[in-house]
Chain A
Amino acid sequence: MSEKTANMKVVEGSYAVAHAVMCCRPDVISAYPITPQTHIVENLSQMVANGELDSEFLTVDSEFSALSVLVGASACGGRSYSSTTSQGLALMYEVLYNVSGMRLPVVMNVANRAMGAPLNIWNDQQDAIGARDVGWIQIYAENVQEAVDATLQAYKIAEDAQIRTPIMVCMDGFILTHVYEPVELLDKEMAREFLPDYQPPAILDPAHPMTFGAFADPSTYTEFRYQQFEAQLKSMEKIELVAREFEETFGRYYGGLLESYFVEDAEIVIITLGSVVGTIKDAIDAMRSEGKKVGLVKVRSYRPFPVQALRKALKNASVIAVVEKDVAIGSEAGLLTDLKAAFYNSNIRTPIIGFAAGLGGRDITVKDISKIVAKAEAARKGIESEFEFLDLRKEIL
């Protein structure tokens, strides 16, 4: 979102995403309401009831059932959609593997939220980062417009015959689901042209019996995993290609796998995911005006993890600060560990420090970003702390 266009409207993030889903014309929607995802599925349910959207909307008893329904729907050849968050995503865990293992192109918006206990309804990204290895592609949105656009792009990527991999489009709960901001809603006809009807390569059909998700013994199981692994790697090209095709049709592009912001000459580079990108961009503009060479890499695709693109984007940095809303208890945090691994066999030896920030909805301010940059600057002379919790309230420990 940079230029104002005639079709822009101020709407709630959840409505905008539900509208995007409508433009994707799913045959089956199955979801269980949970804060802060609720408005997305409420809006979809309303659209179905109004007759604006011709989908089968199944209300179910749990998130486990919601995604299980979609295993059947997708295997029968239906374009399938769900949305969830936090404990809901955790309850889907077993089915997440079934969907990806059966190569079903389900798309799901995850309204990122903290995991309990302690119970917390606010935003962080522990839910999706915790599910990084379940075989789903994960795309993170910076703002509502990106969440809208990524939802349409997701079906095109997921349903590609070479990819056939489910996708989570992650948007920060409350921060993006409940914000009112100017958004260009998708045009239904343009969306139809961009995303034609789903042509499944094989479907469950009693007239032509076939088995999906069958038993695989040690002689074939590895090959199933290998093909999934290869498809995700291959999806990197597709993600980039679809982002460019989207640009041709809709005129918007935010990077395919990554977006770089003032990285070219940056000495200090921050790398992060999701809506905090906006706050960091504002902080960088202020620091740049003071002559500080700070840049930002936004990871749009966290799975597949764009190793080569990251090596290229970050090769000139003299220090890297990873900011993320998750923690890998007993280790560090998802993006930090992945980034270090991406560099280990390259010639990049840039110091990397990591911050767990914004956990359980704690606000991340421009001042917080300045603090991170100051710590990164100090780390150029030697790392004191490889990983820390930002703004830890030591007085209440």
Chain B
Amino acid sequence: MKEIRLHGRGGQGSVTAAEIIAVAAFEDKRFSQAFPAFGVERRGAPVMAFARIADRPIRIRSQVYEPDYIIVQDVTLLDVVDVAGGLKPTGKIIINTDRPKETLKLKTDAEIITIDATKIAMEILGRPIVNTTMLGAFCGASREVGLESLNKAISERFKGELGKKNLLAIKTAYERVS
């Protein structure tokens, strides 16, 4: 079983991203689960969401404490949340930032992957909503969900022109980290 933790701020679509991971993994013929860290959510506050992917039905209901992958949608969270906490040394953390990873001072032995998802999202979507772009980066860096399945999950969620733009954002991020 692979466990994923997503960090973001309220309004950045972290819960939606976790759901899309679950839908995409299921599309890949695997079992999945996604849920928010149930809090008193409000726009801008730090939030978390979780996803699990496995080859067997998933029964466990506890939160994720030792993730295989961490997705950080907002680099300013590094000052307030231990975003890398519990990350397996064999895992990967994917951070949306334009800063070089050496300057992030993350406490982890795991691989750190940075991507300027805000820039990609601004160029393609015209808005600094990075959740789908970060999913492209997650897909490229982890290969835990297939790109086609991810695209299908995104197309179900975002229709028409918005869907197309999101697919392009995903492709761009996917290629950048691959």
Please report which residues of chain A, range 93-136, place their CB below 8 angstroms from some CB of chain B when the two chains form the complex: 121-123
Among residues of B, the one whose C-beta sits closest to the C-beta of A276 is B61
B62 in contact with A1 (CB, 8 Å): no
A134 to nearest B CB, angstroms?
A: 27
A182 in contact with B31 (CB, 8 Å): yes
Among residues of B, the one whose C-beta sits closest to the C-beta of A13 is B35
Provide the residues of chain B in CB contact with A123, threshold 8 Å: 38
Please tell me which stretch of A49-57, A171-179, A242-250, A287-295 contacts chain B, meaning at least 4 of its Cβ atoms lie within 8 angstroms of it: A171-179
Tell which of A175, A180, A282, A363 has the most Cβ of chain B within 10 Å: A180
Q: How far is the CA of A122 from the CA of B38 in the complex (A)?
A: 7
A181 in contact with B32 (CB, 8 Å): yes
Partner of B60, one of A172, A282, A361: A282
The answer to whether the Cβ of A222 comes within 8 Å of any Cβ in the partner chain is no
Provide the residues of chain A in CB contact with B81, threshold 8 Å: none
Provide the residues of chain A in CB contact with B31, threshold 8 Å: 4, 182
Given contacts A10-B23, A182-B31, contact A2 B57 (CB under 8 A): yes
The answer to whether the Cβ of B63 comes within 8 Å of any Cβ in the partner chain is yes
In the complex, which range does the number of interface residues on chain B fall in? 20 to 34
Provide the residues of chain B in CB contact with A36, threshold 8 Å: 38
Q: How far is the CA of A121 from the CA of B38 in the complex (A)?
A: 9
B32 in contact with A281 (CB, 8 Å): no
Q: How far is the CA of A275 from the CA of B60 in the complex (A)?
A: 9
B59 in contact with A180 (CB, 8 Å): no
Among residues of B, the one whose C-beta sits closest to the C-beta of A3 is B57
Q: How far is the CA of A276 from the CA of B61 in the complex (A)?
A: 7
B59 in contact with A279 (CB, 8 Å): yes
B61 in contact with A175 (CB, 8 Å): yes
A279 in contact with B60 (CB, 8 Å): yes
B132 to nearest A CB, angstroms?
A: 16
Partner of B63, one of A172, A282, A363: A363
Partner of A366, one of B19, B35, B62: B62
Please report which residues of chain B, range 29-55, place their CB below 8 angstroms from some CB of chain A when the two chains form the complex: 29, 31-36, 38, 40
Provide the residues of chain A in CB contact with B59, threshold 8 Å: 143, 277-279, 281-282
Provide the residues of chain B in CB contact with A143, threshold 8 Å: 59
The answer to whether the Cβ of B58 comes within 8 Å of any Cβ in the partner chain is yes
B19 in contact with A278 (CB, 8 Å): no
Q: How far is the CA of A19 from the CA of B22 in the complex (A)?
A: 20
Among residues of B, the one whose C-beta sits closest to the C-beta of A283 is B60
Given contacts A278-B60, A365-B62, A366-B60, contact A178 B32 (CB under 8 A): no
The answer to whether the Cβ of A364 comes within 8 Å of any Cβ in the partner chain is yes
B32 in contact with A182 (CB, 8 Å): yes
Provide the residues of chain A in CB contact with B58, threshold 8 Å: 181, 278
Q: How far is the CA of A123 from the CA of B35 in the complex (A)?
A: 14
Provide the residues of chain A in CB contact with B33, threshold 8 Å: 179-181
Tell which of A9, A10, A178, A363 has the most Cβ of chain B within 10 Å: A10
A180 in contact with B60 (CB, 8 Å): no
- Sorted nearest first, the 5 A-B pairs with minimum C-beta distance are A278-B59, A174-B38, A180-B34, A179-B35, A365-B62
A residues contacting B by CB (< 8 A) are 1-2, 4, 8-10, 12, 36, 121-123, 143, 172, 174-175, 178-182, 275-279, 281-282, 361, 363-366
